[in-house]
Amino acid sequence: MISDERYVSLSTWTKEENRKRAPVWVALLDDGRVGFITGNKTWKVRRILRNPSVQLQPCNFKGALNKDSEGCVGVARVVDAGEKEYTLIKNAIRKKYGIQDLVVGFFGQFSKKYGEDCAVVISLENETLS
């Protein structure tokens, strides 16, 4: 399952329909959706707001795709901090990534370059990964 992967490459698309990839952490929600936390001013959020179609594929921490892996497609939705789904994703990320999430969160509080926290919740259309 894609949610079992440590790092996942998120593909979003520009206005010109060019693929843009970014490595993200994802966690599974109880209903089968996955999600991650990011800043509301990031390019991936801007692209998702314009086109909610996304693709997820296993990768390393630098974003290089894992050899012979396949992607799964889904529809993403941005959720503001304070909403129930945001809290669910935040807790799932904290549970999965533990101290690593705490360290990233600690240092992230000193920079608002990427805006306020939000969550991206993805409903997967197909789950082809093992």
What is the reported pLDDT for 115?
73
**pLDDT range class, residue 20, cuts 50, 70, 90:** very high
Distances (CA, A) of 107 to 33, 64, 102, 111, 112: 28, 25, 9, 8, 11
Query: Which residues, at least 6 apart from 100, have a Cβ–Cβ distance to it below 8 Å?
Result: none
- For CA atoms 49, 53, 58, 63, give the dihedral sign: negative
Q: Kindly report the pTM of this predicted structure.
A: 0.86
The pLDDT assigned to 47 comes to 97
User: How confident is the model at residue 130, as a pLDDT?
Assistant: 36
Whole-Å CA distances, 95 to 11, 20, 92, 117: 24, 28, 5, 18
DSSP designation for 66: P
Tell the burial category of 106 from Cβ atoms under 10 Å away from its Cβ (0-12, 13-18, 19+). Answer: exposed
- Tell me the C-alpha distance between 112 and 116, whole Å: 7
Count of beta carbons in the 10 Å neighbourhood of residue 13: 16
Q: By percentage, how much of the chain surpasses pLDDT 90?
A: 70
pLDDT (mean) for 59-71 = 93
Ordered domains of the chain (ranges, CATH):
2-124 (2.30.110.10)
